[in-house]
Amino acid sequence: MGRLAVIAGGGTLPVRIMHANPGALFVAVGGTDCQPPDGAEVLPATFERIGTLFKGMHAAGVTDVVFAGGLVRPRLNPLKFDSRTVALAPRLMHAMKQGDDTLLRAVVAAFESGGFTVRGATEVADGLTAPAGPLVGPAPGKTDLADIGRAAAILSALGPLDVGQGAVVAQGLVLGIETAQGTDAMLGFVADTRGRFRREGGVLLKAPKPGQDLRIDMPAIGPGTIEAAHRAGLNGIAFGAGRTLLLDRDEMSATARRTGLFLYGHEV
Amino acid sequence: MGRLAVIAGGGTLPVRIMHANPGALFVAVGGTDCQPPDGAEVLPATFERIGTLFKGMHAAGVTDVVFAGGLVRPRLNPLKFDSRTVALAPRLMHAMKQGDDTLLRAVVAAFESGGFTVRGATEVADGLTAPAGPLVGPAPGKTDLADIGRAAAILSALGPLDVGQGAVVAQGLVLGIETAQGTDAMLGFVADTRGRFRREGGVLLKAPKPGQDLRIDMPAIGPGTIEAAHRAGLNGIAFGAGRTLLLDRDEMSATARRTGLFLYGHEV
């Protein structure tokens, strides 16, 4: 691997990866709230000018790229497109209608066609995932394990349709299935609407879809997920063992301990 | 068929069925907001005293029953159980943990074991469903039909897991999958959370799960569904042709015309 470029989305993951890869190029995509670490070489960029981005990365000696911190569907102004973006646009627009997986595969293909190797975050930094079994807090009880199993069955059923990286189940009752709005929105919905059911506790399962490209779209949980799960009255969070990003791990573990939620690696 | 008893849940369906079946017995289950029609014979009842309910129905000459207007999971006080409810309780409690289908099958079985034939609403009243094709408003466009197809694929995938009678899809993006909280809660979630996506329109598909017992748990839409779908910014509602209850049909059609939403029977 030659020089790495970190395509910085949001949150703390881009900086974490920069620290693990001294000399990496920090690509600040328009609109990111990420601050580059001190002394890092920064390349400002926009997805409206992919040709310019690719040239800048080649000029900086970049051979490998990692997308870090969530690639939200950007609102682009077609008037600003450079010729490479114009050439890619039909494929990306078409992919955008097929679902996230297809779109992200098209983005990966675009970077590969530009001569870059796309790496997953877990390839370039250690300690971002955890193995199967209890990670923080009490081990899940029998009911929790049954709820995790039911949530896993739902995610498996939906995976081929490119839907669902998360589900909430409480004592067998399905209270939330993640859609495009994401995990936190689903947990807010559960918090707001579960009152009429006499089902205590419950679990959130976050896990990748079968066939999901983990280089660019690995499911992720962080301290905010724990807080939202706590507000939703859940007992804990299960995550796909080795296949889910654990963001801000120390703070996340502290939040889990404070709220009493378990974190559990589920074998997927 | 001998005398019919209408187990009145809520809404206008019980009265509608009473009008279609002169001489039927109106069973007012504790907590229902349904008013019996003038002149109807009324049997007050509670699910805490199923033995008493069965005796009352037999004494009134009832041979057939229809559940009308949504059987919500009642909050029961075990101290008030009669011996028949006590005998049924373990099976019902167990079923309650397996999902709605299992619970409702157990309720049907309980009434059948009491000597009653359980009828679906569509067996005892006409005009409660509609066939395939446009029912009200403009025909769905090409994008709408694709969204209906994607929603149908989601419901098919989830059906075997006893989850999902509804889904919302907008230009290929899945914005809502119905969970235990029901259709209106899902539509409220979509209304609150879709703002960050640049996807106009979209559809709600309501359809039964494969193998669902339509006698007791047919999906239903009504004027409130149209209002909620309108607030969620949808283009229209597709329903399982012949397999979805259309409640308060005149008002529903008027609401659809006023809001400009289509109602479309989808072949399932």
Model pLDDT, residue B210: 81
Q: With bands split at pLDDT 50, 70 and 90, how would you rate the model's confidence at A209? A: confident
Cα–Cα distance list, A153 to A126, A170, A268, B152, B212 (Å): 30, 14, 11, 18, 19
Q: With bands split at pLDDT 50, 70 and 90, how would you rate the model's confidence at A33? A: confident
Average pLDDT over residues B165-184: 95
Q: Check whether A99 has a pLDDT greater than 80.
A: no
Model pLDDT, residue A31: 72
Average pLDDT over residues A146-171: 94
pLDDT tens track for A64-78:
999 998 665 566 777
Q: Check whether A94 has a pLDDT greater than 90.
A: no
Element spanning A54, H or E: helix A50-59
Model pLDDT, residue B208: 92
Q: With bands split at pLDDT 50, 70 and 90, how would you rate the model's confidence at A145? A: very high
Between residues A33 and A156, the one the model is more confident about: A156
Cα–Cα distance list, A95 to A71, A77, A85 (Å): 15, 18, 14
Helix, strand, coil percentages (3-state) for chain A, rounded to 5, are 40, 20, 35
Between residues A28 and A212, the one the model is more confident about: A28
Candidates A72, A100, A158, A204, partner chain B, best to mutate (most B CBs within 10 A)? A158
Q: Check whether B75 has a pLDDT greater than 80.
A: no
Model pLDDT, residue A190: 98
**In this structure, are residues B197 and A182 in contact, taking their beta carbons and an 8 Å threshold?**
no
- Percent of chain A beyond pLDDT 70? 96
Which residues in A have their CB inside 8 Å of a CB on B?
73, 75, 97-99, 150, 153-154, 157-158, 160-161, 163-164, 171-177, 179-181, 185, 189, 193-194, 196-198
Nearest to A131, CA basis, from A222, A216, A203, A239: A239
What residues form DSSP beta bridges with B119?
Answer: B66
With CB atoms and an 8 Å threshold, state whether A177 touches B172.
Answer: no
- Percent of chain B beyond pLDDT 70? 96
Q: How far apart are CA A236 and CA A217, in angstroms?
A: 23
Q: With bands split at pLDDT 50, 70 and 90, how would you rate the model's confidence at B98? A: low
Candidates B143, B169, B177, B198, partner chain A, best to mutate (most A CBs within 10 A)? B177
What are the chain A neighbours of B194 within 8 Å (beta carbons)? 181
What are the chain B neighbours of A193 within 8 Å (beta carbons)? 181, 185
What are the chain A neighbours of B175 within 8 Å (beta carbons)? 179-181
Q: Check whether B101 has a pLDDT greater than 70.
A: no
Q: For residue A39, how many other CB atoms are within 10 A of its CB?
A: 7
CA B32, distance to chain mean position in Å, is 15
Cα–Cα distance list, A140 to A27, A29, A132, A220, B94 (Å): 41, 40, 12, 20, 21
Q: Check whether B97 has a pLDDT greater than 70.
A: no
Average pLDDT over residues A1-27: 93
What are the chain B neighbours of A189 within 8 Å (beta carbons)? 181, 185, 189
Model pLDDT, residue A4: 98
> For every residue of chain B, which 3-state class applies, written as one string?
CCEEEEEECCCCHHHHHHHHCCCCEEEEECCCCCCCCCCCEEEEECHHHHHHHHHHHHHCCEEEEEEECCCCCCCCCHHHCCHHHHHHHHHHHHHHCCCHHHHHHHHHHHHHHCCCEEECHHHHCCCCCCCCEEEECCCCCHHHHHHHHHHHHHHHHHHHHCCCCEEEEECCEEEEECCCCCHHHHHHHHHHHHHHCCCCCCEEEECCCCCCCCCCCCCEECHHHHHHHHHCCCCEEEEECCCCEECCHHHHHHHHHHHCCEEEEECC
- Percent of chain A beyond pLDDT 90? 69
Tell me phi and psi for residue B121, to 5 degrees. -55, -35
Average pLDDT over residues B145-163: 95
For A174, the closest of B163, B172, B175 (CB atoms) is B163
Q: How far apart are CA B203 and CA B146, in angstroms?
A: 10
Average pLDDT over residues A152-177: 94
Q: Check whether B32 has a pLDDT greater than 80.
A: no
Query: Closest-CA residue in chain A for B173?
Result: A99
Tell me phi and psi for residue B7, to 5 degrees. -80, 105
Element spanning A238, H or E: strand A236-240
With CB atoms and an 8 Å threshold, state whether B154 touches A163.
Answer: yes
Candidates A174, A184, A204, partner chain B, best to mutate (most B CBs within 10 A)? A174
Q: How far apart are CA A31 and CA A225, in angstroms?
A: 23
With CB atoms and an 8 Å threshold, state whether A179 touches B175.
Answer: yes
Model pLDDT, residue B81: 86
Model pLDDT, residue A74: 62
Model pLDDT, residue B85: 85
**In this structure, are residues A136 and A257 in contact, taking their beta carbons and an 8 Å threshold?**
yes
> Mean pLDDT lowest for which of A96-100, B209-213, B221-225?
A96-100
Q: What is the dihedral of CA A191, A194, A199, A203, to 10 degrees?
A: -40
Amino acid identity of residue A110, one-letter, is A
SS3 of residue A148 by DSSP: helix
Q: How far apart are the first and last CA of chain A?
A: 29
With CB atoms and an 8 Å threshold, state whether A171 touches B197.
Answer: no
Candidates B179, B196, B199, B200, partner chain A, best to mutate (most A CBs within 10 A)? B179
With CB atoms and an 8 Å threshold, state whether A175 touches B154.
Answer: no
- The HSE-up count of residue A232 (CA atoms within 13 Å, CB side) is 29
DSSP code of A204?
E
**In this structure, are residues A136 and A128 in contact, taking their beta carbons and an 8 Å threshold?**
no
Q: Check whether A131 has a pLDDT greater than 80.
A: yes
Q: With bands split at pLDDT 50, 70 and 90, how would you rate the model's confidence at B10? A: confident
> Mean pLDDT lowest for which of A7-16, B56-65, B87-96?
B87-96
Amino acid identity of residue B16, one-letter, is R
With CB atoms and an 8 Å threshold, state whether B160 touches A163.
Answer: no
With CB atoms and an 8 Å threshold, state whether B175 touches A171.
Answer: no
With CB atoms and an 8 Å threshold, state whether A185 touches B193.
Answer: yes
SS3 of residue A84 by DSSP: helix
Between residues B74 and B142, the one the model is more confident about: B142
Q: Check whether A163 has a pLDDT greater than 80.
A: yes
pLDDT tens track for A39-55:
999 999 888 888 999 99
Mode of pairing for the β-strands spanning B220-221 and B25-29? unpaired
Q: Check whether B56 has a pLDDT greater than 90.
A: yes
